[in-house]
Structure 1
C-alpha cells in the first residue's frame, strides 16, 4: 500500500504531510490511516506522526491476509425496507434498528436505492404530509449509488468508502439481464471492517507472543 511505503520512507511523518505527498485532503486519508493503525501496520504518536507498526516490523502476514479478503466473506445482512414503505415508518425503522442507512428493495428483492436520516429530515421539515409519502419518492436511486460486488476485495471497499466519504456500501449480485436492477446480496460497513482488522491484529499479536 502506498501509504505504508510513504511512511517507510519519511517516518515519522504527519497526516498532513502524507496528504500532501498523495495530493489529497487530510480527511480523505483519515479512514485509511485509522485502519492501518488498527491492523498494527502503522503506529502513531501525538505531535510526532506516523511510523511503521509492530505488525509490519514482524512481517506483513496480517496485511496480506487482509488484502486477500473478499467482500462476500465479510458482508452483513442489511436493514431492508420495501419501496412502498412510508417516510413515517422508515423513521421508526431507523430508530428500532439503530441504523444509519436503510436499503430500499422491490418486491422481488431487487435493489432500488438507499435512504439516510438526512434524506428523511429534508422531506419532513415543514411538510405536514411528508409522513405518508413512500420512500421511493425521496430515496437516492440505483444506479446513482456507489456499490460493491461480492468478488470485490475488502481493500476496494475501503478505497470507495474513503473516496466518497461513506460509512457503508450495498453489495449487489452481478446483473443477470441488462437494464434490470440487481439482487441485493448484503452490505459492508466501516465499523465491520474495523472489527475485522482488530481481530486480525489481535491474532497476529497472539501468534507473535507464542513464538
Structure 2
C-alpha cells in the first residue's frame, strides 16, 4: 500500500505551512476536516506527521519506504495487541479512577461476573461524571460507562489499518480485541498510542537495522 496522491499533497501542505491545523489543511482541498480524518490518522500513525494539541500538524521528516509501508499495514492486530485491564461493574467510580491512574491507561474495560465485556470506562466518562455528580465512592462504574452495543470492537485477525480506521472514524482511543468465537470475551486491546509506537519503532528499525 503506497501513499495516495491526496496524502502526498497533505504532506507537502504541512511542510510548507507547519504548524497547521487540520481545518486549515482541509480548506486547502475544499473539503471538511472529517473527510480527511482517516488520511491524517494514517500519516500520524506512520510517523510522517506529528500532531500537537492546540498547535497543529508538523512534518517529521521520517521516510517510509513503500514496501515497508505495505508490510506494516497488513500486520494483524494480534501481533501488536496488549493485555486488557478489566474491572467489575460493581466497583465504585473512585476505585476506577485509582486503578486508571495507577496503571496509567486511558480506558478500563468493564466486565460482569461471567467475565463478559459489558462496557468501557474512559477518561472522558470520568470527566463528565466529575463535572455533574458527587459521591464517586458510592457510584458504581456501571452507572457511567459506555455500554454494549455502543462499543466498537475488533478481532485479532483484522489488520492494523482496519484498527486505525475504526479508531479514527469513531473518534475513540481504544478497541477491545475479542475472541471471534466468543464476542463477549476480551483477549486484548489495541490503542492509538500502541499503533503509533509500533509504526515509529518499525520506521526507526528500518533506518537503523541491527545485525
The 3 A distance-change label for structure 1 pair 134 and 35 is same
| Partner residue in 2 for 1:188 | 190
**5 Å matches for 1:82-161?**
82-125=88-131, 127-161=133-167
Alignment CA distance shift 1:17-1:93 (3 Å): closer
Q: Which residue of 1 aligns with 2:67?
A: 61
Normalising to structure 1: TM-score of the pair?
0.76
- Residues 86 and 24 of structure 1: CA distance in aligned 2, closer, same or farther (over 3 Å): same
Corresponding residue number in structure 1 for 2:12: 12
More deviation, 60-69/118-127: 118-127
Ranges in structure 2 where 5+ consecutive residues have no aligned partner: 15-21, 51-57
Give 4+ residue runs of structure 1 displaced > 6 Å after superposition: none
Alpha-carbon distance in 1 for matches of 2:85, 2:30: 36
Q: Using the TM superposition, give the Cα deviation of residue 20 of structure 1 relative to its aligned residue in structure 2, in angstroms.
A: 6.0
Higher helix share: 1
Determine helix, strand or coil for the equivalent of 2:208. Answer: helix
The TM-score normalised by the length of structure 2 is: 0.76
Deviations 1:23-45 (Å, cap 9, x if unpaired)? Answer: 44077243322123x1x5x79xx
Q: How far does residue 11 in structure 1 lie from its aligned partner after superposition? A: 7.0
Bigger Cα Rg: 1
| Pairs aligned (count) | 194
Kindly tell me: are residues 11 and 123 of structure 1, through their superposed partners in 2, closer, same or farther at Cα, counting changes over 3 Å? closer
Q: Name the counterpart of 2:42.
A: 32
Question: Structure 1 residues 137, 158: closer, same or farther in 2, change over 3 A?
Answer: same
Return closer, same or farther for 1:20/1:113 CA change in 2, 3 Å cut-off. Answer: farther
Which whole-Å CA distance do the structure 2 matches of 1:117 and 1:11 have between them?
32
